[in-house]
Structure 1
Amino acid sequence: MSTTTEHPPSHAPTPEAESAAPVRSWREVRALLVRLHFYAGILVAPFLLVAALTGLAYTFTPQLDQLVYGDKLTVAHTGTTVRPLAEQIAAARQAYPEGTLASVVTPPGPEDTTRVVLSVPELGEKQRTVFVDPYTAQVKGDLTTWWGSTPLTAWLDDLHRNLHLGEVGRLYSEVAASWLWVVVAGDLVLWLARARGQRAATVRGAVLPDLSARGVRRTRSWHAATGVWLALGLFGLSATGLTWSHYAGDRFGQLLDAAKGHAPELDTRLPGARPGPEAAGADGHAAHEGHGGAAAEPAEPDAAAFDAALAAAHDAGLAGTVTVSPAEDRASAWTVAQKDNAWPVHYDQVAVDTTTGTVTAHTRWADYPLLAKLSKLGVQGHMGNLFGLANQLALAALAVGLSFVTVLGYRMWWQRRPTRTDRTARLGKAPARGAWRRLPLPALLVGIPLTAAIGWALPVLGVTLLAFLVADVVTGRRLTTDGNVGPDRRADAVGECD
């Protein structure tokens, strides 16, 4: 046994130093962001990677639909005269007499087929869509659709939204959307602050990787510079994804309620009419909801009335592809809604009294509140519908870029692992703990309420962040009370555990 007295390393804190109040500095804000960015990158990155890859697959559903269902979606030869809707409906009903007629969607282009949508009880929330050649009234086939989406598109949509796990699976996509903007913002702040601190700081140094660097510095350069280029698009994907998520979407709905930012509703009540006891038909939304009761099956709407409703809508200025839906009951009007998602969008709707051929109500895209417009355009952009192929290519670039940045983040974690013979670890260590205790009081006074507000607005973000904090505190306390871990080794031990 050695009799030499062991002295603590010079960098180890003395008891007096440990009991002294921490020195507060604004530089600790960066230290806190580094640790948050590290944990978010390690723990949330798998969700981001899955969302990016499934979103990439969904981006090209229009082309995939044409590849798989082209014989039903398009006609072999375009004609010059379009047959009346009544004639096309009659052909569809002769081939598929089951269910009731829910709506008719006119062709979006001269080479596309007409879609006759049938509400079939055994299909539940889905519908049977019959595709008809508008020039010959020949039935091209049918598909089981969901809100107008083909089986392939619906399958990829479910994969992206919930991994085919239902409501529980939706949490994955909400975690990804909730944390995406946090990770991107952290990357921007940390990288731009680092670039600014360089003596030869230039714009080029902030937006382009340093090709002269080696090892982890080179990886970090590619990771951060790529993130700068992707930042705006990723912020947009995060915001638009959250608007129709489960929990954050509810908060967004409350905001729309408070700001009166919902899209205007079309008044389908006929002047002077009283609601009847039975529905004469069902529109597209009712078709999703009207199969659970024991009421009698609604009567088949008059096929000729579809032409009357379409003619009145054309006279009112609606053009392009439209959805014609029968009245819900005798007291209601028929509805004709534009469904042009490509820019410039067209979402006008009219209510039509088919007995007189007159328009009883009209809602226009120009009358939408600003929040409703932004929400609608954001959703269409997120789905790749807004600018056609350009929109799809932009989404694909974001998905590939996000995947690339995520992989580089894990590579940095691997490259930063200790490899010295006297100290090795399987993975890189986490940044030092305790930065929040050294934050300036103004930063705490602003940051804590702001974090709480963000956690309320984005509940999944709030819950997961709280879980991170609890796990970090528990880990830190365990290591602090561990007699085998000295003060000078605690940071390394945390990194090894993480």
Structure 2
Amino acid sequence: MTPENGRLYRAIWRWHFYAGLFVVPFILLLSLTGAIYLFKPQLDAWQERHWHDAPFERVVSPDDQVKAALAAVPEARFYSYRFPPHPVGAAVIHVGLPGGSMRDIGVSLDGRVLGVADPEARISATVSRIHGSLLMGRWGGLLVETAACWAILLILSGLYLWWPRGRGPAGVLWPRLGARGRLFWRDLHAVTGFWVSGLALVLLVSGLPWTDGWATAFRTVRAELGLVQGPQQWKGGVDLHAEHDHEAMLRAQAAVPGPGLSLNDIYLRALAERLPEPVVLIPPGAPMPLGPPNGNVWKLSSETQNRPLARSVSFDPMTGAVVAREGFADKHPIDRVIGYGIAWHEGQLFGWVNQAIGALTALALMALAVSGVAMWWRRRPGSTLGAPPRPSEAKLRVVAVIMLALALLLPMLAASLILLLAVDRLLLPLWPRARRWLDRTAPA
């Protein structure tokens, strides 16, 4: 390695250290919660297991099931009917309460209320809130987004540091046999990082549509370029063109089907569509999971997390005729790409194979975090933090240009980089004691 390349290596190593210092706790938490959320369908089914195994003696109509649900929860408003998952399963009636909260009511085929559950209290919903916002609302979401952006930088800089530079495959493609101590942790970190880097980058990038900063910018560009075809089918970003608080508006509305065909009439027509489970039927005027309220139609939707399989069908409330169909192929190509990414991120694109790959990726990321901390702990001199040495000014500028180019695509990375550069270049020189504690050696 030439002196110039050596300085560049140390410059990137320093920023890799900074990124790891910030990201490691988030990698551990987000990998754990992400691995759990991969199994959302199984978790939800387990929590509803008592609903779907209830015996029954007769079968009542969906209308009677909804009446039983509304009688069990006073002042509730009917929002949707989820089809029984199998011939002897229970229907799930989704209702809204006056205060704006929601409830899921399991009703057997013979019209008995089997249980009432808060959808926000489900294991999968709680894990999702931890994964997306650390239970801290929008500020937590911005923190998670920042960590994800730095994790992308961490992986890219790690690949540069991993590059063999004339070394053999041992310690590069596989760990060296018999390695002990720091060498063991180094090989575990480098080899695992190489093999998992592609999958980790896909996971990180496919999670950006759920964020606030990146997704808001993307949502604005999507609208300004005329790429919008219907409401955005994922939660993420702030709609800067919205004139109202849609969430508050939706919760305030009462869904009361008007004159026309009954739920049972539409249900019988909907069965012939054979949509992928879970399947829900939403009455006219009811709130939709995403976007504005449902129009003057009965809307049949598949809520499968394998988004390329999702379809929806709209029925005229007076005649029951099909007035609209929408499938994955009808969406804009950009939305389809994001749909594939989200389905992969949630572990549902290829069923259990996708779940297994996602879980292994999460375990590998946790191994990277642990081995990185172990390497730092063994290397740090004395009681100092032990950051890699500061590079020369010229090389620092090269690294800054590279990272700023990346930051143009990641708004939260740009904002945090400005803050970090200000601390590193402006504040630390004024605080020699802190600088000595942070740096291992003088500038290169």
TM bin, normalised by shorter chain, reads 0.7 to 0.9
Shift in alpha-carbon separation, 1:475–1:433, aligned structure 2, 3 A: farther
Q: Does 1:359 align with 2:322?
A: yes
Mapped to 1, the partners of 2:270 and 2:27 lie a distance apart of 44
Shift in alpha-carbon separation, 1:325–1:493, aligned structure 2, 3 A: closer
Deviations 1:436-479 (A, max 9, x none): 5147x9x57xx62x644533432221122222222221365347
1:107 to 84, 92, 109: 84
Mapped to 1, the partners of 2:311 and 2:84 lie a distance apart of 17
Q: Secondary structure at the match of 1:400?
A: helix
Mapped to 2, the partners of 1:190 and 1:327 lie a distance apart of 58
Matched residue type, 2:407 = G
Partner of 1:46: 25
Partner of 1:142: 116
Partner of 1:280: none
Shift in alpha-carbon separation, 1:151–1:453, aligned structure 2, 3 A: same
Aligned 1:170-249 pairs, distance under 5 A: 170-191=141-162, 193=163, 195-198=164-167, 201-202=168-169, 205-249=171-215
Partner of 2:411: 459
Shift in alpha-carbon separation, 1:50–1:219, aligned structure 2, 3 A: same
Alignment RMSD: 3.5
Shift of 1:94: 3.3
Aligned 1:21-36 pairs, distance under 5 A: 25-36=4-15
Shift in alpha-carbon separation, 1:175–1:232, aligned structure 2, 3 A: same
Shift in alpha-carbon separation, 1:394–1:318, aligned structure 2, 3 A: closer
Partner of 1:434: 391
Shift in alpha-carbon separation, 1:366–1:78, aligned structure 2, 3 A: farther
Unaligned segments of structure 1, at least 5 residues: 1-22, 267-284, 419-424
Mapped to 2, the partners of 1:407 and 1:78 lie a distance apart of 52
Matched residue type, 2:147 = A
1:409 to 368, 372, 375: 372
- Maintained 8 Å contact 1:413/1:427: no
Deviations 1:141-165 (A, max 9, x none): 111224xxx5332222212222222
Q: Paired residues, what number?
A: 422
Partner of 2:104: 129
Q: Secondary structure at the match of 1:350?
A: strand
Q: Secondary structure at the match of 2:206?
A: helix
Deviations 1:300-354 (A, max 9, x none): 55695223333444556646542211112997222111222348x4222222112
Mapped to 2, the partners of 1:437 and 1:470 lie a distance apart of 17
Partner of 1:334: 298
Q: TM-score, normalised by structure 1?
A: 0.74
Shift in alpha-carbon separation, 1:320–1:428, aligned structure 2, 3 A: closer
Matched residue type, 1:127 = M
Mapped to 1, the partners of 2:118 and 2:260 lie a distance apart of 22
Partner of 2:236: none
Deviations 1:396-421 (A, max 9, x none): 22222212211111111111133xxx
Matched residue type, 2:53 = V
Q: Percent identity?
A: 27
Mapped to 1, the partners of 2:38 and 2:363 lie a distance apart of 12
- Maintained 8 Å contact 1:338/1:347: yes
- Maintained 8 Å contact 2:171/2:190: no
1:495 to 432, 440, 443: 440
- Maintained 8 Å contact 1:174/1:242: yes
2:265 to 303, 308, 325: 308
Shift of 1:83: 4.7
Mapped to 2, the partners of 1:493 and 1:342 lie a distance apart of 47
Shift in alpha-carbon separation, 1:350–1:67, aligned structure 2, 3 A: closer
Q: Does 1:383 align with 2:346?
A: yes
- Maintained 8 Å contact 1:184/1:227: yes
Shift of 1:298: 5.4
Q: Secondary structure at the match of 1:164?
A: coil
Partner of 2:53: 75
- Maintained 8 Å contact 1:105/1:321: yes
Q: Secondary structure at the match of 1:107?
A: coil
Shift of 1:28: 3.6
Shift in alpha-carbon separation, 1:357–1:66, aligned structure 2, 3 A: closer
Shift of 1:117: 1.2
Q: Secondary structure at the match of 2:172?
A: helix
Mapped to 2, the partners of 1:69 and 1:436 lie a distance apart of 61
Mapped to 2, the partners of 1:69 and 1:313 lie a distance apart of 23
Mapped to 2, the partners of 1:255 and 1:287 lie a distance apart of 22
Shift in alpha-carbon separation, 1:43–1:95, aligned structure 2, 3 A: closer
Shift of 1:391: 2.9
Mapped to 1, the partners of 2:104 and 2:392 lie a distance apart of 59
Shift in alpha-carbon separation, 1:26–1:162, aligned structure 2, 3 A: same
Shift in alpha-carbon separation, 1:412–1:38, aligned structure 2, 3 A: same
Partner of 1:118: 95
Q: Secondary structure at the match of 1:121?
A: coil
Mapped to 2, the partners of 1:247 and 1:287 lie a distance apart of 19
Shift in alpha-carbon separation, 1:298–1:492, aligned structure 2, 3 A: closer
Q: Does 1:469 align with 2:421?
A: yes
Q: Secondary structure at the match of 1:355?
A: coil
Q: Secondary structure at the match of 1:206?
A: coil
Range moving further from structure 2, 33-42 or 388-397 = 388-397
Structure having the higher Rg: 1
Matched residue type, 2:62 = L
1:155 to 126, 146, 150: 126
Matched residue type, 1:308 = D
- Maintained 8 Å contact 1:241/1:382: yes
Mapped to 1, the partners of 2:134 and 2:440 lie a distance apart of 32
